[in-house]
Chain A
Amino acid sequence: MPYPASMEESKRKVEETRPKRLEKGLLSRIPAEEREALVNKFHPDYKKEQFRELRIGPSKGSRAPLEIADLLEGNSRIDPDRIDLDKVDFDVDVLVVGCGGAGGASALLAEENGANVLISSKLRLGDANTIGAQAGTQACDRPNDSPAIHYLDAMGGGHYVNVPELVEALVKDSPDVIKWLESLGVNWDKEPDNSYHELSGGGASRRRLHSCKDYTGLEEMRVIRDEIRQRNLHGKKVDWVEFEPAIELIMDDKGQVAGAILMDLETRRMTIVRAKAVVIAAGGMGRTHIQGFPTTNHYGATADGLVLAYRVGCPLVHMDTMQYHPTGAAFPPQILGFLVTEKVRTLGAEIVNGDGEQFVHPLEARDTEASAEIRECKERGKGVNTPTGEVGLWLDSPMIDILRGQGTVARELPAMVRQFGRFNIDMAKEPVLVYPTLHYQNGGIVIKADASTPVPGLFAAGECEGGVHGRNRLIGNSTLDLFVFGRRAGRAAAQWAKEVKLGKLTLDHVRKWQREIKEAGLEEMPVSPMLLPNYANQDRPVPGFQPLGQVSPYTPFGDRAIRWI
C-alpha cells in the first residue's frame, strides 16, 4: 500500500465516484468573466504583498516578485577596478550564455551563418529546463489548424497582452521548427497514417502538441547537444565551456555589448570573453522559490540572464507574472513539486477533490486551473492532507486507460510511470496527488521579432525573454519558443557580428550601477547573479565562510527536514 492510511479513504472515494464521473463527462469550462475573478482572487500573481516596485535600473517603477527584485537590484560579483580587460581569453563572434534548447539552437544557427561561437554553460552542456519538458511542442501543421488559430489561442492564453509581432513569429515558424528538429534526428510520435501524433492541451483549440512520448524535451535536447558536439568534432567553429557561467557582461565605449566575464564554479577562476554579439539564453527562475513554492525547475534556474541584461540597461517586461503549473507532485515528499505533465490531463485524466468530486475542467489555461485548485484547498477545504503537511488534489490517472484502452498510460507516459513507480505508486491503477508548483517565467527580457534587445549587440531567446506569452504561457509553446527565438537569435547575432565594429572594452556600466545602488541606499542587497541555490545545511558554518549559492531570505529552507529539496 503506497499511500498512508490517512490518504487511503480519500483515494477510495475517487475510485467510487469514477464510474459516475466517466458517464457524466467533464465539467464545462468556466465563463470568461468568472475566470478573471477566480484568477484575481486565488492566483499567486495577485498577492500584492509578494511584489514590489524596482527602485533602480531600466525598468524602475515596474513590479517584480520580491525574490526577483532582490536579484535585479543586487550588486555585481566583480570589482571593475581590479579587472584587466586587455587580457582576453576568448575572442569570438558570438557568445551564447546558457545551453538549453534556446542556447543550443542559437549556437547552431550562428555557426551556420558564419560566426565563430562560444557557449558558456553553468552546468553541463544541455543541463537545462528543456530536458525536463515532457508534454510536447506546439505547431499548427494540421489541415484544420492555421497560424491564425494558433495566434488566437496564444493571445487568449496570455490575456491579450502578448506582443503581436512575437506571437506571429512563434506561430509562423512553428511547423518549420518541427521539420528542422526531425531533420536533425528527433523522433516525433507518429500516427499509423504517418501524420504526427498530436494532442490538444489546455487553452489550445486544435490538436497541435507534437510529442516524443513524455520525454519530448529530453529528446530535443540530446539531439541538439549531439549536433553541437558533432559540429565541433568536425572542426566547425562552435565550442563550449562547462561549469563556467557568465557573471557580468562586458560593453564597449560605444555602448554596445562586447562580451562577458565568466567564472569557473569550482576554481573561481575568471575568464574574459570578447564577443561581437551576446545571446542570453539563460532560462528561468524556479530555483528562487518565489512565495515559497516548490518548483519543477532545473537546479540552475536562478534568473541569471535577467540580471545580466538588466545591468547593461535592458528593460524587462511582464516580470510580475509567473506560471504555476497546476500539477506538481504533492506526494510522496521525495518528489514534491516535480512536474506531472499536462499530457496526463490531455489524455483524459481529470482533477478531483478529496471527496472524489469534480470542481474544474481539466484543460483550463494553466493560471485558471491552478487558481481553481488553490480555491478548492484554501477556501473550500476540500484538499487532501499528506503526513508531511502538504495539501493536494487527486489527478485521476486511471481514467486514461479506461477511456483510451489498456496500456495507454504505459505507452504515452513512461517517464511519469517510472517516477511514481519508484515510490510504489502505479499511476495506471491509482490516482496521484498534485498541487500547483512554480514552473515558468512568463515575462522577461524585452526583444523584437529577430530576438534583438534594445541594447546593441545583445540578443535573448527562450524563457529569459518576455512578451511572447503575455501573462500566461500555454502548454507546448515553451519548447516552441526555444527553437523559434533560439534560431532567430543565432541568425541575427551572426549577422550583427559581421557588421559591428567593437570599440574599447569597458566595465563602466558596472561602475555606474554601483553608484546607483549607493545613491539608492541599496548597498546591503545580495550580490547577483545568484548562479546556484544553496540547499546545503550550514547550521554551523566556519565563521567568515562564504557559500557560493544563496538562500532566499523570504523562504528559508531547512526549517522542515522533509522539505530539503
Chain B
Amino acid sequence: MAKVAEKEKVQMVDIFIMDKHYQVPEGLTIQAALEYCGYNLIRSVGCRSGFCGACATIYCFKNDPQLRYALACQKAVEPDMYLTQIPFFPTAEALYNVEDLEPKEGENKLVELYPIILTCFGCNNCTKSCPQDLEVMEFMSAAIRGDYEKVYEKSFDCLMCGLCAARCPQGLQPYVMAMAGRRLRGAYLAPKSQHNLDRVKEIEEGRFDAEMEKLKQMPTDELREL
C-alpha cells in the first residue's frame, strides 16, 4: 500500500471498514478502497457504475454518528469514514399475475397487494436513505392515493438496492411495492402504440418474407450498393 502512495505522492485517507482501520489513497471510490485494502469482493458488487444497486452502503463519520447512504461504486472515500456494506435484502413480495393487475375504477391495486403501506406515518426515513435521491415517501403517498402515474414517475430511477426498506420503522418495502406499480402502469395505463401492433401483425402475415429472402441471398457487393 505504502509503495503505491510513494510513487504517486497520493494523499492518504483514514477509513474504517467494519470498525477496522485502513489507509487508502484519496479519491478512490468506497468500492475501490475496499479492494485497495485487500478485499476480493463477491457480495456488494455488481455493475460498478451506479445501475444495479448491489453495493448499497451505510456510513457515518468517526465523530458524527448520523447515518448516511451511498452506492459504494459511486461515492469517493472521505476522511474518518466508517463503512458498512449492505449485501443482501430479503424481499417479501406480494403474489400477483401481471395479467390480473388491470386497475378498475374505485380500486387501489397497490393497497390491495400491499395493505401494509397504509401504516406509513410519514417519517421520511425512506427518502433520506435513497442513494438515488428519489422522493420515496412521495411515491408511497401516491400509492396510497392510487395515483399510479406518480408512482411510476417518482420511482422510475429506483435501482432496488433496498436501503429504504432497511430504514423503514414500519417494515415497509417501498422499492418492492413500486415495482408492482410500475409494471401495472407499463402494461395497462401507458397508451398502446398502434404502429407497433400493426407491424407485428404484418410480420406474422409474412408481408416482408420475400424481400428478406432476396436480401439474404444477395452477394455482399450488391448489398453494399443498397
Contacts and interface: CB of A to CB of B under 8 A. Distances in A.
A255 B181 CA distance: 47
B66 interface: no
B132 to A, nearest CB: 7
Given A147-B212, A230-B98, A561-B10, A538 B191 contact: no
A187 B185 contact: yes
Given A187-B156, A561-B5, A561-B8, A534 B40 contact: yes
Contacts of A32: 224
B156 to A, nearest CB: 7
Contact of B52 (A131, A195, A560): A131
Contacts of B17: none
B104 interface: no
Nearest to B43: A243
A357 interface: no
B51 A132 contact: yes
Residue of A219, A223, A537 most packed against chain B (CB within 10 A): A537
B182 interface: yes
Interface in B170-192: 179-180, 182-187, 190-192
B197 A547 contact: no
B157 A414 contact: yes
Contact of A185 (B37, B187, B191): B187
Contact of B196 (A196, A418, A535, A560): A196
Interface stretch (B23-31, B78-86, B119-127, B135-143): B23-31
A536 B24 CA distance: 13
B10 A418 contact: no
B76 to A, nearest CB: 6
B54 A124 contact: yes
B95 A422 contact: no
Contacts, number: 233
Nearest to A133: B51
Categorize the interface residue count of chain B.
35 or more
Interface stretch (A173-181, A246-254, A478-486, A494-502): A173-181
Contact of B97 (A124, A156, A234, A419): A234
Contact of A218 (B51, B74, B180): B51
Interface string B95-106: 111100100000
Contacts of A535: 32, 35, 40-41
A141 interface: yes
Contacts of B50: 338, 415, 418-419, 422
A296 interface: yes
A160 interface: yes
A127 interface: yes
Interface in A196-235: 196, 212-213, 215, 217-219, 222-223, 226-227, 229-230, 233-234
Contact of B54 (A127, A129, A532): A127
A148 interface: yes
Contacts of B1: 537, 539
A230 B187 CA distance: 16
Nearest to B158: A222
B211 to A, nearest CB: 5
Nearest to A563: B32
Interface stretch (A38-46, A78-86, A164-172, A311-319): A164-172
B203 A147 contact: yes
A188 interface: yes
A299 B45 contact: yes
Contacts of A419: 49-50, 74
B216 interface: yes
Contacts of A28: none
Interface residues of A, number: 86
A58 interface: no
B18 interface: no
A165 B215 CA distance: 10
Contact of A188 (B157, B190, B208): B190
A22 interface: no
A132 B157 contact: no
Given A185-B184, A334-B27, A226 B179 contact: yes
A131 B54 CA distance: 11
A266 interface: yes
A131 B25 CA distance: 30
A234 to B, nearest CB: 7
A37 interface: no
Nearest to A122: B42
Interface in A379-429: 414-415, 418-419, 422
A143 interface: yes
Contact of A160 (B27, B152, B220): B220
A123 B194 CA distance: 39
A537 B36 contact: yes
A204 to B, nearest CB: 15
B42 A548 contact: yes
A-B residue pairs, 9 tightest by C-beta? A185-B183, A194-B191, A187-B186, A536-B40, A185-B186, A164-B216, A141-B199, A141-B196, A535-B35
Given A141-B196, A179-B200, A185-B187, 17 more contacts: A123-B45, A141-B200, A147-B208, A182-B190, A187-B156, A196-B195, A196-B196, A230-B95, A230-B97, A265-B42, A299-B47, A418-B157, A561-B4, A562-B8, A562-B10, A562-B28, A565-B29
18 contacts: A32-B224, A127-B52, A131-B51, A132-B51, A147-B208, A172-B208, A176-B200, A185-B187, A187-B185, A194-B194, A218-B159, A233-B95, A299-B47, A414-B157, A419-B50, A422-B74, A535-B40, A539-B3
